[in-house]
Amino acid sequence: MKITFITSNQHKVKEATGIFHKFGITVEHVDLGYPEIQGDLRDVARYGAQHAARRLETPIIVEDAGLFIKTLKWFPGSYSSYIQETLGNQGILKLMSDVNDRYAEFRSVIGFCTPKTEPKIFLGTVKGHISYEEKGEYGFAYDPLFYPEGYDKTFGELKRDEKNKFSHRRMSLEKFALWYHDWFKDNMR
């Protein structure tokens, strides 16, 4: 079984390859830009998936993710990419400097689409809290800021295999993989 994953993020490709391996799915990576509309993660994933599937004329997945911080009214959320490039992790830590409630979630939405069907989405979430300083050399972007619930290490301190066991992306990709098994049987054989 194979799926085409449209992304420009190599970290996501590596994570997805590790996760899909257990489900017997091979990842074919295509770095094709697609329009990211204004909206929540679901809207972005739906629109992007449909656009890419029509363009490549094959079934594909895209993924849209974000960090949601409760005390900041779930900011940066769907602005995570822009905020990572502008404020960065130090900017987030500054915004949180005298905040006690540090609850946050990572969310990931997989959008699957074929050239002829409507998009389908799969949501994954991991709960946790924001650190007081950046920690760890692994991972990418917000990983050094995020302590997953029940862990005393940030995502930035966890190797990929460890993060892949329970991350937001693990949850969304796993939901997709379980559904895709049946879909593939019915549509691609």
Measured from the CB atom, the residue of 1 and 13 that comes closer to ligand IMP is: 13
DSSP 136-163: -SSS-TTGGGEEETT-SS-GGGS-HHHH
By CB under 6 A, name the one of 121, 141, 158, 177 that touches ligand IMP. 141
Known catalytic residue: 143?
Answer: no
Which pair of structure tokens corresponds to residue 96? 């949180």
Nearer to ligand IMP, 120 or 143 (CB): 143
Say whether residue 151 binds ligand IMP (CB under 6 A). Answer: no
Nearest to 4 by CA among 29, 21, 22: 29
Report, in Å, the least distance between residue 115 CB and ligand IMP.
23
Closest CA to 67 of 177, 173, 169: 169
Indicate the DSSP class of residue 53.
Answer: H
Enter the tokens of residue 101: 């409630």
Under DSSP, is residue 114 helix (H, G, I), strand (E, B) or coil?
coil
Question: Considering CB under 6 A, how many residues would be counted as binding ligand IMP?
Answer: 15
Q: State the catalytic residue, choosing from 31, 40, 64, 101.
A: 64
The yes or no reply on residue 143 touching ligand IMP (CB under 6 A) is yes
Distances (CA, A) of 121 to 80, 112, 118: 19, 6, 10
With CB under 6 A as the contact rule, the residue among 4, 17, 71, 81 that binds ligand IMP is 81
Contacts with ligand IMP by CB under 6 A lie at 9, 64-66, 80-81, 84, 106, 139-143, 155, 169
Catalytic positions? 64
